[in-house]
Each structure stands twice: as C-alpha cells, then as structure tokens.
Structure 1
C-alpha cells in the first residue's frame, strides 16, 4: 500500500481520497477550506496543515484542483510542493487544465527525476463517489503501469491515451461532448414540452435507444425537477470549454457547434449562475422559449 498525498478535497477530490483510504492506502489530504479537511478526516483521510505537509514523504502525490494556475501555484509557488517531491516519487495531476501547462509540468518535474502523469477524470461527483470514473492518462507508458494500482481504485475505465499532455487533450474533447449532450437534451425537453408529451416516459424510451447516454441517465432528474444543485459547476465547464476553444484555435481547427454551446454556457455564467450544475443549460433554453424550468 502506498502513502498518498491528495491536494484538493472538493466535490471530486474528497470522495477520491476516501476511496483510496478504503482500499488500504495511507492518505494525507489538504484543502484550503478547514471544513473540507474535517469532512475528509471523518472518512479516514489524515488532514494536513498545508500542501507541502500533504506531499512530504508521499510515494504518490495527486492534485485535484480547479485550473492550471492552481496546479502551477501548488507546485512552484512560494510554498510549492515541488521541493517535497523526492526523485523517484510519482506526481499525478487529476485536474482539468491546459494541455500545454500539463506538458510543462511533465518537463519540469521529469528533469528532477520525478515521474509525472496528467490524468483528468470524467464521471462527475457520482463517479468519484462510486469509484467508477473514466480516467484519461498522458505520460510515459511505464509510469502509467506504475500508477495503475492507485488509479484502478478510483475508476473503472483507466486508459493510457498518449504522451505528456495527451490526457488533458482527451479531457477537452470529453468536455465538449458533454456540453453538446446537455444542450441537445435541453432542447429535446423543450420540444417535448411544446407538444404536451409525458416527459418522464419520453426520456425513458429515448434513453433506451440510440440516443441514450450517460448524460441523459445522470442528468434527466435535474432537468425534470429543475433542481440544479451542482455535481459539476457551470463555472468549471465554462473554463473547460475555454480550454477546448484555445486548443482548437492553436491547432487551426474549426468547431462551430462548440462555439455556440460555449456562448450559452458563458451567458449563464454572466447571469450569475456559475454555481449551478451544468445541466442548468436547460434553464436557459426553457427561458429562451418563455417557459419556467
């Protein structure tokens, strides 16, 4: 069993850390919010007083943070953990960040003899709790194999997708697919409402056919109830679609539907709804049609 430091004990990081504890690993966790540290401690995670303390002496350090600047600050800031990572240790960033930033992290830490993976996840809060996440991993194949005993605790689909930064590129593609599904689901429900169709039955039969998806399965309850308590916040999806668009622009790739959905997400964030679940795309679509969500 490994000694694991987990930095970031939010909606995703806390259940992931708890699952590592349940698998028998010793886990030290840090989050900037004392309440999240306490909640994690109640699930067997040893609370650390700082990111450096969480990383000190760990075989594996995992970060689950909101964005690239957060990862860079935790690693290389004034109280950064890079100095706590011993040669031969393993650093796994499971945040969703720019592929270019992930590649820079690989290069910088590898020069110090530290093994690195970028391993963003998909599956939302439910997937983190149930340990059924999809994990897309970039880095050297031998480092991926080294990390498998830890990653397999957290997810059921754990796939090496290429070299440094590749995990983040695949996550960007994942996020545009999810956003597209959510918007089309929203529009489908508005269409169904316009015809007076029984929504629960309609989505059940749609979900059983070719149009069925994990998005429909996991998010239809939120759409039908109008309860957009966050499992994955719109503000974070807005950030992720920005990564998609910048990556596409740098590659010279045109993604017209992505641009439209990104504007809809941005409009919700601009209205102050960034704290809602990303299924709140339905709220905006309903309002555009003069309907209550």
Structure 2
C-alpha cells in the first residue's frame, strides 16, 4: 500500500518517521524543503504538490497546524481533493474542528474516497517511538482498512465512532491537559513559595491522588527549567479554543474553558506565541518573584519504552454500533 504524508512538522515528522522506519512505501510533502530532504535521505519519495500525493498514494495523511491550513491543503487547485479518487482514504491527523473535518469529509466522499479524522494523543516523545495513542473517527470499513498502518504509528488505536468523533474527543483530552498544566503551575509555585524541596514536591504529587500524565511529563521539564515539551502556547490556545467553540455550538455553559483561553492568550502576549507551553508557569513565577526549579530533571521527555506493534483498543459494552 502506497502511503502519502503531508506535514512533517513537530508531530507529523515523528509519525511519518515511524512509517519510514518500518519500511513503508512513503511519499512526503512539506513546505520546508529540509524536512522533505531528510525523509528522502531515509528512503521516502517526495511530491511537488498535495494533488500529486493524492494521485500516487492509496492512503493520504495530513498533519497540519490548524483547521485553516488543512482546508487549504485539501481544497487548493493543486490540493488533495483535486487528486483523490474512488477507493482511497484520507486521514486527518491534525487537531482540528469536528465541524470542519466533517465538511471536508463530505467532499472526500463525493470523490468516492473514505475520510477519517485521526488525531493522536500522548506527547511528541511517544509519537517519535510509535507508542502514541491514536483516535479514529470513520466508517468501520475504513477503520479496518487503515488499522494495520495505524498500529505501526501508534500503540493504542481506538475507533471512536463516526467521522468527527475523534476530533471531538481529541479536543476534550487536550482541554484536560491544559487544565492540568495550569493547575500544576499554581501547585508547584505554591510549593516553592512555601519552602518545599521541589524534588520532594514532585514525588509527593506523583504518589498522590493529584497525579496525572501531565505531571509525570510536563512537570519534569518545568522543574528542569527548559520547559521544552515540543509544544507551544499558540497551539494550546488553538486547542482549548476549539474545545470552547465546540461547547458554545452545543449551548453548554462552561466555566473553566474560557478561563484557560484567557490564561494562555495572556501567556502568548507576555512571552510570545511560540514560547513552550509549560512556561505558562512564568506567569506565577513573575508574580511571586521565584523560579520553580528542581534538580536532576530531564530537559526534554524521551520515551524509554521499547517500540511495540500497536493494537485496537476494544471498548466493552459500547452501544454506538
């Protein structure tokens, strides 16, 4: 099966890396020629347009920084829709708006192809090793077709239901990460101001009911001082904004989500949109005139688990199909 991958950025490059590392027939496309050259050196082919990728490949992945970027790549004159044909599958791996992915998905179906919204969760370090989790919203037929490819890219693969369901659950999980990060920024700063040893504070939270995936990863790079999780404040603002917008469309009166939007917009204004997202703690550090640091924590996260072939996560007692 010939696979095309459009978008070789911080996440996309790692996901596509798992494909080339495992011997897949891969054609890539990115606006950065250095990213493309790196993949060609590793055995991939390149394409001059998204249309060419869609014409040459059976399965087309897009992994782009925003819904607008994806729509442009799909609908441009030389975009994916101009080259896709019956029997092919398009998988959107970006964190995107569920309404937009369903709109584009309808256009893909008009071409006789199958759309899948297919975001990932678990951090860039796990994307790099093929151990990340993958959600897939699509018809079961499409899911069964692409599952062998998805299990190369990720460890836990969950069929979330119809097209758009994966994107909904992705913004839900990213929203929870955002809340955890904001809360940890306050909790760690309070611990520092109250004179706690920060290594002890880290282990206390880890051993307690207050623990979370975000604490076990992002707190480490916070306490190192690098704050490098491979994710930036503008992307957090986009993700939590998508969650807030989904809730607004559904008429759900949220309280925390608008606050998260304001906190990270303030962080962008203070430190720049491309500042690493864990550095949101600087708002607290600046207010309290402290530096929240520990000793011996890593500068960035590395997945130390061996790469394993993925599998479908089977949901007990599900009733959506």
TM-score by length of 2: 0.87
Backbone CA RMSD of aligned residues: 1.5
Distance (Å, rounded) in 1 between the aligned partners of 2:79 and 2:200:
53
Output one character per residue of 1:45-77: Cα deviation in whole Å (capped at 9) or x when no partner. Answer: 323232223333201000000111111111111
Partner of 2:141: 142
Distance (Å, rounded) in 2 between the aligned partners of 1:118 and 1:137:
6
Q: 1:98, CA displacement in angstroms?
A: 0.8
Partner of 2:73: 74
Output one character per residue of 1:133-175: Cα deviation in whole Å (capped at 9) or x when no partner. Answer: 1212111122111110111111112111121111111011011
SS at match of 2:128: helix
Q: Which moved more, 1:140-149 or 1:52-61?
A: 52-61
8 A Cα contact 2:233 2:264, kept in partner: yes
Distance (Å, rounded) in 1 between the aligned partners of 2:30 and 2:282:
32
Pairing of 1:163-182 with structure 2 (within 5 A): 163-182=162-181
Output one character per residue of 1:156-197: Cα deviation in whole Å (capped at 9) or x when no partner. Answer: 121111211111110110111000110111111101101111
Partner of 1:11: 10
Task: Please state if 1:50 is matched with 2:49.
Answer: yes
Q: 1:273, CA displacement in angstroms?
A: 2.2
Pairing of 1:1-293 with structure 2 (within 5 A): 2-292=1-291
Q: 1:80, CA displacement in angstroms?
A: 1.1
Structure 1's consecutive aligned runs of 4 or more residues displaced over 4 angstroms after TM superposition are none
SS at match of 2:43: coil
Number of residue pairs aligned between Structure 1 and Structure 2: 292
Distance (Å, rounded) in 2 between the aligned partners of 1:18 and 1:270:
34
Distance (Å, rounded) in 1 between the aligned partners of 2:247 and 2:77:
33
Q: 1:285 to 1:45 in 2, by over 3 A?
A: farther
Stretches of structure 2 that go unaligned for 5 or more consecutive residues are: 293-321
Q: 1:272, CA displacement in angstroms?
A: 4.3
8 A Cα contact 1:226 1:283, kept in partner: no
Q: Which has the higher contact order (CA 8 A, sep 6+)?
A: 2
Q: 1:243, CA displacement in angstroms?
A: 0.8
8 A Cα contact 2:18 2:130, kept in partner: yes
Q: Which moved more, 1:178-187 or 1:120-129?
A: 120-129
8 A Cα contact 1:228 1:276, kept in partner: no
8 A Cα contact 1:238 1:262, kept in partner: yes
Distance (Å, rounded) in 2 between the aligned partners of 1:250 and 1:79:
32
Q: 1:78 to 1:221 in 2, by over 3 A?
A: same
Distance (Å, rounded) in 2 between the aligned partners of 1:216 and 1:61:
35
